[in-house]
Chain A
Amino acid sequence: MTEVVATSQTIVVVGGGISGMTAALEAAECGRQVLLIEKTPALGGRTALLYRYFPKLCHPTCGLEINLRRLKSSRNLRVLTMAEVTKITGARGDYSVSLKLSPRYVNENCTACGACSEAVEAAIDNPYNYGLSKMKAAYLPHAMAYPQRYVLDPSIVGTPEGEKAKAACKYGAIDLGMKQETLEIKAGAVIWATGWQPYDAAKIQPYGYDRYPNVITSLEFERLADPHGPTGGKITRPSDGREAKDIAFIQCAGSRDENHLRHCSRICCMASLKQTQYVREAYGEEGKSTVYYIDIRAIDRFEDFYRKVLADKTVRFVKSKPARIAEDRKTLDPVIHGVDTEGYHRYASRHDLVVLAVGMEPAVKGADIPHEIVADSSGFIESAASGGFFGAGCASNALDVNRSVQSATASALRAIQVVRKSDRVEA
């Protein structure tokens, strides 16, 4: 059984992305007891799946590494992975939180030697590459995963494959008898940092994401550019594996649209500007990026980055929200149709690959949180009537990493104020 000590002075943080980690660390480093709950087998969230960060084009692993070091040296922070909140009752200063823990089938003895993965043959879709590649059913989520502990996919437990994995482990780390557990804990405040999910691109019917192989999302493009991704960092076309040198980026794919997401997702302009530089990095002067946009929203100091990309001759900007995408039947080249707002010229432009800059929506829509909360019209968390419940990072708004971290720090401060009050009540 998993033992967790938690009292009404404990702060529970739900979601172990950059925001949840930040909120948990800030509170723990202020001497507060913190429990960090992550649904997947590893911390890091979406940022672990980005190739580089705008605006400095540094690698996300760098920031993640610093946080993990802080986390390992903190005595006040306890992490539970593969854990989900099923219910929250009570009010500010006195919550009861119900948790569901899924079995990992691998215990603390794991040294991440990888022998189990080599022994197993069964493969599953790799969620870390958005299903663009397969991985073994005994796996380490990604190179930076914390905890550095393997996972067995439930599909092989109770099969000869599961036994193969167990036989390969020299450290007695594989426990095929692990069961799902439920836990009931106390908490004074709850920080909700469950982050975001991409808007379902298939719902934007005229763009044909579900019909054309060479129309992909911006998240998939991050994986294509990443050396740890499905193509080993080569930017190629899903239909034929050919190098994709002429790439179109379509902005506001699902955002700023009453038929889809009402809000501006705020980060996608910068994400596409950044991704044009992946094309340049891969193909130099031979690469060609075309950005179709309504208006470019590079806020504050990001303006400098925008100016830099504007000066790049390999990048062309077309002020137009495309009306639709068609496909050349023979070559499977996507052809973008629309009218250019600067001059009202009609165009039909062929490209090797189209990247949809999909919008962000809250991963757990306001309505799905097992507690009464106040959310805006897009489902981002604003507050809760019970008073001790705070949104952080992309769960509260469409934010970049820098602003997510600021929002998380603010939520940690608010949570500390709550548990300090309950200190005094009990003293």
Chain B
Amino acid sequence: MGAMNEQALAKYTNNFLREVEERVEEGEWVKMCMQCGVCAGSCPFGPDWEHSPQKIFMMIRAGKRDEVLSSDSMWMCTSCYNCVVRCPRELPITQIMHGLATYAQRLGLAPKMNPTRKFSLLFWDNCTRTGRVNELKLALGLYFMDGLVAGIKKAWAMRNTGLGLLMAGRLNPFEILKGHECKDKAGIQRMLKKAYEIEEKRRGFAK
């Protein structure tokens, strides 16, 4: 994190809730949570993650900045929207969870070894490069994420699925060389750059 960002964050010392409200997507909703527990009880992850949305929102209010931003819970959310449809206060819970994950990533505080984080980065990089998702490269990148040996093992385990996709015409082996692209690749990149700029300004990020 650059010195400018350090400076931008200084005003939030001891007020993590305000930081989330101003800098995280849909963060202004967090204060509306009444801690009823419906989202936590509705989440299919149930006992399998440490911090349910309810708990995350309480931790934000309690100023537990490090625990929240380094939590892997936000990265586990599957966007099933069970919590959103049931929340009596209509909090956009799924969006807040993803907003927190993005924010943590930007500050470099997200858990490094979390597989969903790695996948997200891989996916984003893959699809913004050409404006199209290159399925083959994405899959291979995913398999070899944990090293060569692990990758070969995974690819071998998945060989029948791959073959099936190939037969159905859903996977083109020549994608490994070039892959299909958008017509105006440069246009896409310009658009994304602008979007980053706007977002950074709005959320108070220094370049």
Chain A positions near chain B (C-beta within 8 angstroms)? 206, 252, 256-260, 294, 320-324, 337-341, 344, 346
CA distance A379 to B54 in the complex (A): 31
Chain B residue nearest to A337 in the complex (CB): B41
Contact indicator A321/B36 (Cβ below 8 Å): yes
Contact indicator A323/B41 (Cβ below 8 Å): yes
| Distance from A283 Cβ to chain B, minimum over Cβ atoms (Å) | 29
Contact indicator A344/B54 (Cβ below 8 Å): yes
CA distance A320 to B54 in the complex (A): 11
* Given A323-B42, A346-B46, also A340-B37 (CB < 8 A): yes
Which B residues lie within 8 Å of A294 (CB)? 34-36
| Distance from B22 Cβ to chain A, minimum over Cβ atoms (Å) | 24
Contact indicator B37/A339 (Cβ below 8 Å): yes
B169 at the interface (CB under 8 A from A): no
B73 at the interface (CB under 8 A from A): no
CA distance A322 to B38 in the complex (A): 6
- What are some 23 contacts across the A-B interface (CB < 8 A)? A256-B34, A257-B88, A258-B87, A258-B88, A259-B85, A259-B88, A294-B36, A320-B36, A320-B41, A323-B37, A323-B38, A324-B41, A324-B42, A339-B37, A339-B41, A341-B36, A341-B37, A344-B40, A344-B55, A346-B40, A346-B41, A346-B46, A346-B47
Contact indicator B41/A338 (Cβ below 8 Å): yes
B134 at the interface (CB under 8 A from A): no
CA distance A260 to B39 in the complex (A): 16
Which A residues lie within 8 Å of B90 (CB)? 258-259
B159 at the interface (CB under 8 A from A): no
Contact indicator A339/B86 (Cβ below 8 Å): no
CA distance A346 to B88 in the complex (A): 19
Which B residues lie within 8 Å of A340 (CB)? 37
Contact indicator A344/B52 (Cβ below 8 Å): yes
Chain B residue nearest to A259 in the complex (CB): B88
| Distance from B134 Cβ to chain A, minimum over Cβ atoms (Å) | 40
Which A residues lie within 8 Å of B40 (CB)? 323, 338-339, 344, 346
Closest 8 CB pairs of A and B: A323-B41, A339-B40, A321-B36, A257-B88, A338-B41, A320-B37, A323-B42, A258-B90
CA distance A206 to B36 in the complex (A): 15
| Distance from B8 Cβ to chain A, minimum over Cβ atoms (Å) | 32
B153 at the interface (CB under 8 A from A): no
Chain B positions near chain A (C-beta within 8 angstroms)? 34-42, 46-47, 52, 54-55, 85-90
Contact indicator A339/B52 (Cβ below 8 Å): yes
CA distance A294 to B54 in the complex (A): 13
CA distance A258 to B90 in the complex (A): 6
Which B residues lie within 8 Å of A341 (CB)? 35-37, 54
| Distance from B155 Cβ to chain A, minimum over Cβ atoms (Å) | 37
In the complex, besides A259-B86, A294-B36, A337-B41, 4 extra interface pairs with C-beta distance below 8 angstroms are A294-B34, A323-B86, A324-B42, A339-B52
| Distance from A231 Cβ to chain B, minimum over Cβ atoms (Å) | 32
Chain A residue nearest to B85 in the complex (CB): A259
Chain B residue nearest to A258 in the complex (CB): B90
CA distance A420 to B110 in the complex (A): 73
Which A residues lie within 8 Å of B35 (CB)? 294, 341
Chain B residue nearest to A323 in the complex (CB): B41
Contact indicator B88/A322 (Cβ below 8 Å): no
Chain A residue nearest to B83 in the complex (CB): A323
Name the contact of A322 in the complex, choosing from B41, B47, B85, B89 (C-beta under 8 A).
B41
Chain B residue nearest to A322 in the complex (CB): B41
CA distance A252 to B55 in the complex (A): 21
* Given A323-B42, A346-B46, also A339-B89 (CB < 8 A): no
CA distance A320 to B36 in the complex (A): 6
Which B residues lie within 8 Å of A322 (CB)? 37-38, 41
Which B residues lie within 8 Å of A323 (CB)? 37-42, 86
CA distance A322 to B39 in the complex (A): 10
| Distance from B87 Cβ to chain A, minimum over Cβ atoms (Å) | 8
CA distance A344 to B46 in the complex (A): 11
| Distance from B68 Cβ to chain A, minimum over Cβ atoms (Å) | 15
Which A residues lie within 8 Å of B88 (CB)? 252, 256-260, 321
Name the contact of A206 in the complex, choosing from B46, B55, B86 (C-beta under 8 A).
B86
CA distance A257 to B42 in the complex (A): 16
Which B residues lie within 8 Å of A321 (CB)? 36-38, 88
CA distance A208 to B91 in the complex (A): 23
Contact indicator B54/A339 (Cβ below 8 Å): yes
CA distance A339 to B87 in the complex (A): 14
CA distance A259 to B87 in the complex (A): 8
| Distance from B10 Cβ to chain A, minimum over Cβ atoms (Å) | 32
Which B residues lie within 8 Å of A324 (CB)? 41-42
Which B residues lie within 8 Å of A346 (CB)? 40-41, 46-47
Which A residues lie within 8 Å of B55 (CB)? 344
CA distance A259 to B37 in the complex (A): 16
Which A residues lie within 8 Å of B46 (CB)? 346
| Distance from A209 Cβ to chain B, minimum over Cβ atoms (Å) | 16
Most-contacted residue by chain A among B34, B37, B39 (CB, 10 A): B37
| Distance from A293 Cβ to chain B, minimum over Cβ atoms (Å) | 9
| Distance from B82 Cβ to chain A, minimum over Cβ atoms (Å) | 9
CA distance A256 to B34 in the complex (A): 10
Chain B residue nearest to A262 in the complex (CB): B88
CA distance A403 to B38 in the complex (A): 32
Which B residues lie within 8 Å of A252 (CB)? 88
| Distance from B124 Cβ to chain A, minimum over Cβ atoms (Å) | 32
| Distance from B111 Cβ to chain A, minimum over Cβ atoms (Å) | 20
